[in-house]
Structures are given as structure tokens and as C-alpha cells.
């Protein structure tokens, strides 16, 4: 995990979902979908919270939220934001590895938001441990939301942006393993794992879960960034309306950059 921590210590995660219109799509769709399942009284644990955009959103809605991240810089930023706030919220930032939630009692949360870890857990054993730990701390009937990055968006966006990745080796690596690691010829980011809507559903079905939703949270907006960012207010409203109404369309789900799988703990 050292590569991932090092990457995010030098990355501006705080503005990732707010710096332009194309990035705001992901936040808007994610919260719109999650609001169907999260009630004001729910106690929330967020894993890989970054600098807390979702944690603050739900804390402001009245939820009790523990925001965790493996990167110390992110938790420092969350605590700095909290110290500058005039209104008190039930939000607490803690440095935590998403594969080890031993600090938290079993069945103590109504909702677990895993909106970042899954696409940085390159070992299947770590992905399994992340889900098992998330389900352990969830109450019976609790909701687990897992964000993932789609293989086919990655292939299309990376190969068209840089032709050095336009190779059979890169295609096969993403399709077959979905894993890239720093130092490898095919790595364009940091240590990362990519999947598809079908693969993530197959994976989550191995556990004590019932799938209730699977959506594309930003569609092709990141790929069409310049086009989306140059829209006027009326045009952007129409684009967002389309994005919200197409985010569950199975025929295009795998072309979204980010996906969000929501499941319920059975018992």
C-alpha cells in the first residue's frame, strides 16, 4: 500500500470532484443514488474517504459519520476542515486500512461506503478482506456501497490519450487481470485494479449480500471532459438529466468510468 499512500500524499484529491463540470457528474449521481438508501438516522462508516466530500455531505444531512483513509494527509485535511467549521457535525476522521476494521465492533454501522479502496486493492485476498470486514461491521440489513473503475473505460481513455499503450499486451493485461502496478511498463497511474459490472457482481455474490443497485456514476463525461466543461448552464442541466436517466442502462454500464454497486447484508 506504500505506493498508493505516496501517490495520494502528492495528489490534490480535495478538488477531484469539484474542479469542473465533468467531475461534478460523479458526485451528483453518486449522492442521488445513495440518497435512496441512506436515512438521516443511519450511522455511516466511509472507507477511503479521501478529504471527506461524501462524509461531510452526509454529516451535514444529520448522519453520524466516521471518515477513514489510509493516507494521513487526507485525514489531516478532514480535521482541518472540521476545526474551521462553525456548525458542529458528528464527523470523525481516522487513519484506517480498509482491509482491517478491527477498531470497530461487529454490526455497529447501518451503512459502509467503500468509494475508493476497491480500485486500489490489487490482490484478490485484500479485496475479499475489505468486503468481509465491511460486512462484519454492518448491521443485518445494512447497506454496502462499493465504487469500482471499469476496464473498458480505462482501455478506451488511456489508449486514445497515449498511443504507447495501444498494444496487445496492455489490452490483455487490463482485460485478463485488471491490475497495474507502479514500475510496470503498462502502468499509467499508481497500483490499481479495474473490473466490469458483471465481474464485480459475480465477486460480491460470493459473500452474504443481496445486490440492490449497480449504476454508472459518471458515464463518458470524463472522456468528453472538454465538451462537458464548455457547456452553458442549460446544456449542462440537460447533460446531467441524461446522465441520471441512463446510469442504470445495462447496455452502456461498462463504459462509465466509475461504477457503484450497492448491496444489502442478508443476515
Lowest-pLDDT range of 10-19, 120-129, 226-235: 10-19
pLDDT at 180: 98
End-to-end CA distance of the chain: 31
pLDDT at position 1 over 80: no
Q: Per residue in 101-125, pLDDT tens?
A: 999 999 999 999 999 999 999 999 9
Q: Per residue in 40-97, pLDDT tens?
A: 999 999 999 999 999 999 999 999 999 999 999 999 999 999 999 988 899 999 999 9
For the chain, what is the mean pLDDT? Answer: 96
- CA–CA separation, 114 and 132 (whole Å): 12
- Under the phi-then-psi rule, with left for phi > 0, alpha for psi from -120 to 50, and beta for the rest, what region is 62? left
pLDDT at position 205 over 90: yes
Quote the cell numbers at residue 132.
Answer: 468481509
pTM of the predicted model as reported, rounded to 2 decimal places? 0.96
Domain limits of the chain? 2-265
Q: Per residue in 135-194, pLDDT tens?
A: 999 999 999 999 999 999 999 999 999 999 999 999 999 999 999 999 999 999 999 999
Superfamily name with CATH number, domain 2-265? Vaccinia Virus protein VP39 (3.40.50.150)
Nearest C-alpha neighbor of 67 from the set 75, 133, 127: 75
pLDDT at 249: 98
Q: Per residue in 235-265, pLDDT tens?
A: 999 999 999 999 999 999 999 999 999 999 9
pLDDT at 91: 98
pLDDT at position 196 over 80: yes
Strand intervals (E) in 28-123: 43-47, 64-69, 91-95, 109-114
Span 201-219, average pLDDT: 98
Please state whether beta strands 179-180 and 138-149 pair in parallel, antiparallel, or not at all (unpaired): unpaired
Quote the cell numbers at residue 30.
Answer: 453518486
The C-alpha angle 145, 151, 155, rounded to 5 degrees, equals: 145
Compute the half-sphere exposure of residue 130: CA atoms within 13 Å on the CB side of its CA.
29
- CA–CA separation, 261 and 253 (whole Å): 11
pLDDT at position 12 over 90: no
Confidence bin at 19 (pLDDT 50/70/90):
confident
Amino acid at each position: 500500500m506504500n505506493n498508493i499512500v505516496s501517490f495520494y500524499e502528492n495528489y490534490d484529491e480535495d478538488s477531484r470532484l469539484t474542479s469542473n463540470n465533468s467531475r461534478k457528474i460523479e458526485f451528483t449521481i453518486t449522492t442521488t443514488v445513495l440518497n435512496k438508501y441512506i436515512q438521516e438516522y443511519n450511522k455511516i462508516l466511509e472507507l477511503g474517504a479521501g478529504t471527506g466530500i461524501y462524509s461531510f455531505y452526509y454529516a451535514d444531512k444529520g448522519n453520524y459519520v466516521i471518515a477513514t483513509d489510509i493516507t494521513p494527509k487526507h485525514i489531516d485535511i478532514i480535521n482541518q476542515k472540521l476545526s474551521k467549521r462553525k456548525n458542529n457535525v458528528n464527523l470523525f476522521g481516522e487513519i484506517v486500512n480498509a482491509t482491517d476494521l478491527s477498531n470497530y465492533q461487529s454490526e455497529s454501522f447501518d451503512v459502509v461506503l467503500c468509494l475508493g479502496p476497491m480500485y486500489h486493492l490489487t490482490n484478490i485476498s485484500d479485496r475479499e478482506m475489505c468486503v468481509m470486514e465491511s460486512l462484519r461491521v454492518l448491521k443485518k440489513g445494512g447497506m454496502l456501497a462499493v465504487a469500482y473503475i471499469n476496464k473498458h473505460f480505462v482501455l478506451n481513455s488511456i489508449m486514445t490519450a497515449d498511443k504507447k499503450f495501444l498494444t496487445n499486451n496492455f489490452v490483455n493485461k487490463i482485460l485478463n487481470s485488471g491490475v497495474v502496478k507502479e514500475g510496470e511498463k503498462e502502468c499509467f497511474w499508481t497500483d490499481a485494479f479495474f473490473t466490469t459490472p458483471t465481474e464485480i457482481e459475480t465477486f460480491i455474490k460470493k459473500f452474504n449480500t443481496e445486490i440492490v443497485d449497480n449504476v454508472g456514476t459518471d458515464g463518458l463525461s470524463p472522456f468528453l471532459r472538454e465538451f462537458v466543461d464548455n457547456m452553458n448552464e442549460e446544456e449542462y442541466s440537460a447533460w446531467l438529466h441524461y446522465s441520471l436517466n441512463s446510469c442504470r442502462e445495462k447496455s452502456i454500464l461498462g463504459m462509465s468510468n466509475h461504477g457503484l454497486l450497492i448491496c444489502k447484508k442478508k443476515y
